[in-house]
């Protein structure tokens, strides 16, 4: 009887499974840019560091998102030297910890009054410092799912969906002139699905990845000699 019930129940969910597979994880993205004083021939032998803002009380910009942006830029133009965020923060501890990190480019002058800091910056040939502020969150969820194990039956049945939103802003500092030279923002949203007929099949919308690619493309265009 248990097996017959599974056969009877399954068709009710297969339609939802097929719809979810056809829809996939749909993502919408919007990018805004305001930049100026772009390097006319790329940044040459200079380097860039990308850092996440983590001073907000209710969220931290994810380390893996910062790494994603850096990888995206370096893949697009291997000549761009992107300094690893965690290595940079550790090397300049404690000056780039969340509570002590500079909030305005002009405050870099204070750090350069410290000889060890000034020497390290000079060794890096740092030209641009890019701050990323934002995060990715899950929003509304709907649907239901039940799972069970019994004689002749084991598995899950149901259908659930949830939304995901990514919102990030990149602020570009020209480290040489200690001024802000632009801002780029990316907002992405999408819907993910979890249909289950015996086995759950997550269909995840690549929202954060889309935000990374969108923001990375704009920053690459700014920094690269090939734009």
Phi and psi at residue 80, in whole multiples of 5°? -85, 120
What is the distance between the terminal CA atoms of the chain, rounded to a whole angstrom?
66
pLDDT score of 68 more than 60: yes
Q: What is the pLDDT of residues 87-114, one digit of tens each?
A: 999 999 999 999 899 999 988 888 889 9
- pLDDT (mean) for 155-167: 85
- pLDDT score, position 6: 36
Torsion of CA 124, 130, 131, 136, to 10 degrees: -120
pLDDT score of 185 more than 80: yes
| 151 band by pLDDT with thresholds 50, 70 and 90 | low
- pLDDT score, position 38: 86
- pLDDT (mean) for 35-60: 90
CA–CA dist 131, 123 (Å, integer): 21
CA–CA dist 57, 63 (Å, integer): 17
CA–CA dist 172, 131 (Å, integer): 7
| 53 band by pLDDT with thresholds 50, 70 and 90 | very high
In this prediction the pTM is 0.82
Name which of 82, 86, 85, 190 is nearest 136 in CA terms: 190
């Amino acid at each position: 009887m248990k097996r017959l019930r599974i056969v009877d129940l399954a068709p009710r969910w297969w339609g939802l499974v097929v719809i979810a597979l056809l829809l996939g994880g749909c993502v919408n993205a919007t990018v805004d840019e305001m930049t100026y004083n772009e390097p006319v021939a790329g940044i040459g032998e200079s380097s860039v560091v990308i850092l996440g803002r983590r001073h907000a009380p209710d969220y931290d910009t994810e380390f893996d998102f910062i790494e994603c942006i850096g990888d995206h830029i370096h893949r697009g133009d291997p000549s761009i030297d992107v300094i690893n965020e965690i290595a940079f923060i550790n090397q300049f501890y404690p000056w780039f910890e969340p509570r002590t990190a500079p909030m305005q480019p002009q405050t870099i002058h204070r750090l350069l009054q410290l000889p060890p800091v000034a020497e390290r910056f000079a060794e890096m040939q740092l030209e641009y410092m890019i701050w990323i502020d934002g995060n990715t969150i899950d929003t509304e969820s709907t649907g239901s799912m039940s799972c069970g194990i019994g004689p002749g039956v084991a598995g899950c049945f149901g259908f659930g969906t949830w939304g995901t939103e990514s919102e990030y802003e990149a602020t570009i500092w020209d480290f040489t002139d200690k001024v802000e030279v632009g801002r780029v923002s990316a907002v992405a949203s999408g819907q993910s699905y979890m249909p289950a007929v015996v086995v759950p099949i997550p269909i995840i919308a690549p929202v954060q990845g889309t935000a990374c690619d969108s923001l990375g493309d704009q920053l690459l265009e700014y920094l690269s000699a090939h734009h």
